[in-house]
Amino acid sequence: MRNVFLELGISQAEIDKRVEDTFNEIFYGENRFYYTTEDGTMGYLVDTGNDDTRTEGISYGMMMAVQMDKKIEFDRLWKWAMTNMYLNDGENKGYFAWSVATDGTKNAYGPAPDGEEFFAMALFFASHRWGDGEGIFNYSAMARELLKTCIHHEEMYGGHNMWTDDGLIKFVPGLEFTDPSYHLPHFYELFAKWCNPEDKEFWEKAAKASRRHLKASCHPDTGLSPEYSYYDGRPYPDHEHFGGRHDWFYSDAYRTMANIGLNYEWSHEDPDFLAWSREIANKLQCFFFKLPSNENRGIYEIDGTILDGKALHPVGLTATIAQASLAADNEHSLRAVEELWNTPMRTGNRRYYDNCLYMFAMLALSGRYQTW
């Protein structure tokens, strides 16, 4: 895997220390947001801005742990998910409640599909890195069953599938729109290799469908994507639900370009998409580096129109602009990585989301976000 930090002249020892320090700050530092239960058998990451635990955060923590070879933390997080988030009955049986209080009480009884896809990928990696155990720690079996549930829920339990028949991930199973930052074709290619054999064709289709969606949802001039979108890529204009508008480039959308960068590093099966990825990553970085410094961490329409207000997660945005350098080759690409290196982790009550994206960028740009 490419180590972009080395290209800046940073030593391997410094890079390794920085990655380890970032993980340790999230899990054990003064500004941590990982905690364990009193008996020490379970662990959870807290969304510090909303004072809850989310499948996004638990699955992100599992991915961080497996990449860093931290099996104890991985198993604690997975046990928390299975104990407090897994839905044993109801219309969403077999999925995970997307929000749970820190005492384990469910705040919701529906899933957010980005959690399920990260759970499955982290579990497969854990299986390959550490081997399968028993029960819920039979990682590969749990991953295969989860993927089966996601795409066969209707026939298994009578509820809604998480992916459309055309292979597009939904924002939530019961609604017919999507979130570009949920689209992880580099995950789906690996799912096709490791899923139940009868589902291989579906995941191959999903990888192709998500690449088409990413091309359609990223603005051709700026590279910016909306938070939510129709299946054809157009921004989804619902301003009445889910906390207001999501047709702009805002918090969720930061992840889209980071995902495109990681796909560029992991997958080489679609040369046309890789060429587009380089072009669109270049456009996104050029958009930000041509903005005045007082406007480069703001809120934007996807065509680049500057709106009132500042980014809720500026450190997360810095991290994802930098991670785009896995695909980009413009005059700003190394500068973006250097800017991340010189940016400290976020403190305060919004640190959770920013520092998750920060950790993933540190892994990706150091060559340590690997396909186990």
State what percent of residues in the chain have pLDDT above 70: 99
Judge whether residue 152 has pLDDT over 80.
yes
Task: Say if CB 265 and CB 2 are below 8 A apart.
Answer: yes
Domains and CATH numbers, the chain: 1-32+215-372 (1.50.10.10)
In the predicted model, what is the mean pLDDT of residues 101-117? 98
Active site residue 132: no
In the predicted model, what is the mean pLDDT of residues 127-153? 98
In the predicted model, what is the mean pLDDT of residues 237-251? 85
83, 192, 152, 128: CA torsion to nearest 10: -20
pLDDT at 277: 98
- Identified catalytic residue from 179, 252, 265, 338: 252
pLDDT at 242: 73
Whose structure tokens read 């709106």?
Answer: 307
Q: Using pLDDT thresholds of 50, 70 and 90, give the confidence band for residue 5.
A: very high
Active site residue 7: no
User: How many CB atoms are located within 10 Å of the residue 334 CB?
Assistant: 17
- Identified catalytic residue from 25, 56, 73, 179: 56
Q: What is d(CA 224, CA 138) in angstroms, rounded to the nearest whole number?
A: 39
Judge whether residue 237 has pLDDT over 90.
no
In the predicted model, what is the mean pLDDT of residues 294-317? 97
